[in-house]
Amino acid sequence: MRIALLAALVALAPLGANAATEGKKVSLKGELIDTWCYFSGVMGGPEAVVGSAHHTCAIWCAAGGIPVGMLGEDGDVYMILKLPEDDASAGGDSFVELTNDTIEAEGTVYERDGLKYLVVSEVKSNLGVANLNHEDFGIVPGFAIPKKDRKALKGE
């Protein structure tokens, strides 16, 4: 009898256990950010680890497979699971190339356990790196530009 009950439970499990959540179609505008530095505070406050100040580090992180998210105009961070034609969210080329760009996108948002996930279906526009916060914070981290490159940039 117990075995029969178990069998019934297992057979019925798929009906309730499929965890894929209902998505919501959205149009969003925001900057694609390095979510680790943003949330962990490992390199300072959140306002310093976005934009031009943090661009080089964000490229390292995106290429290193750290999740890229969109910091929306509403202040929410949408963890991006897919860009158009690119589901390589762990270090894929599109994720590296769009880092710190502010884009207008259409896609689907899924909410699960307090996090918002974004599947981008189309990038409608790309404003490039639009947050020029290096004017306030310099470059974060300070070693992002190697000494030899600093000299080269200064023409030395």
Partner 1 sequence: MKRIALMAALLVAPSFVTAPAFVSSPAHAAEECEAKSWGLSGQKKECFSAKVVDLLCEVAGDCPPNCGAGNRQLGLLRADNGKLVYPQKNLQQSFNGAVADLHPHCGKTIDVRGWFVGDEDTLKGAAQLYQVQWIRSAGGDWKKASKWTKDWAKKNPGAKGKGPWFRRDPRVKAQIEKEGFLGLGRAADVEFAKEEY
Q: Which of 65, 124, 127, 136 binds partner 1 (CB under 8 A)?
A: 65
H or E segment to which residue 29 belongs = strand 24-34
Q: Which is nearer to partner 1, 12 or 104 (CB)?
A: 12
Whether residue 106 contacts residue 121, with contact meaning beta carbons closer than 8 Å, is answered with yes
Q: What's the closest the beta carbon of residue 106 comes to partner 1, in angstroms?
A: 15
Q: Which of 25, 75, 85, 125 binds partner 1 (CB under 8 A)?
A: 75
Contact between 10 and partner 1 by CB under 8 A: the answer reads yes
Angle, CA of 149, 154 and 155, to the nearest 5°: 95
Restricting to residues 20-39, name those near partner 1 by CB under 8 A. Answer: 20-21, 23, 35-36, 38-39
Helix, strand or coil, per DSSP, at residue 142: helix
Contact between 55 and partner 1 by CB under 8 A: the answer reads yes
Q: Report which of 94, 107, 97, 104 is spatially closest to residue 126, judged by C-alpha positions.
A: 104
